[in-house]
Structure 1
Amino acid sequence: MEIGSVGVVTAASEVTPVDALAFLLLLSQSEALEGRIRDQFSEIKGRNDEMKAINDKLAEVRKVRSGLEENDDTTTLSNDLREFFEKSGIVIPGNGQEISKEELSALIENVKARSDELSQSNQLQNVRFQDLKKKYDSTFDFLSNVLKSTASSRDGIIRNVT
């Protein structure tokens, strides 16, 4: 491949204008960025869904704790809650099916900590998403400028010919 004065000469001796190559390069870059943006968006959505589920379970645990009467020392968590917390990596205090008020309070703190971790992670993901979006917008701005320049040059040539 050699660069000529009018364009790029490929192996097949075809002349490809530099503007066309720039356009193809920018188009390829924008497609790659679009894929990364989609992936980033999916990650953010997944974390938001997980945060919503954790907050729903947190409300359930608070309800269980508030439902304990003054003379009740322990209660049991539903299997649904236990399975959810285990899948989410949230430590359930105690070692049996019974859980005390203090252990419920500790569980609530563990759930809040996990929710905070997800929130912080989401903030970082949002910054990355915004950065990718800026790069994507910048690529399209540059692509638009290349097209305007090409059109302007061609219009000038046509005016000079006529």
Structure 2
Amino acid sequence: MSSAAPFLTLDLPGPDATDRLGRALAATLRAGDVLLLEGPIGAGKSHLSRALIRARLGREEDVPSPTFTLIQTYDATPDIWHADLYRLTHPDEVVELGLEEAFDQAICLIEWPDRLGSLRPAKVLTLRFTLTEDGAARKLSFFGPADWADRLTGLTP
């Protein structure tokens, strides 16, 4: 988890705002981009991922949560890897999944990235989801190197 200040914080008042943000974010991504999605269960990590993946594919598609499969891959340009590492107990298990190679050539969306340990790539974009007090809305904070801040200038839900 990053301790630096976020370069961008957005309010997501509901599912429609999360969908719009996923579509807008999808347009900025390219091969080798790794997004680390942090936050509690139910905070919107999978919801944002679904919207982003569908936007990249350019069509409605069943986008299941990778909670049990650990990884779902999508044939796009570049390929998209959506991983949920919640059930992993050691970073060595990440190697077995083939994620290290995907980090270099695919767009990777990683839920529960704390399970990566030392395998965490250096130039990632971290999206930290927090719930409002009543849980109806979310706040999303973005952390990453300056080039990410430049790429995401003007991003809105």
Structure of greater Rg:
1
Instruction: Determine which structure has the larger strand proportion and give its number.
Output: 2
TM-score under structure 2 length normalisation: 0.20
Instruction: Determine which structure has the larger helix proportion and give its number.
Output: 1
TM-score under structure 1 length normalisation: 0.20
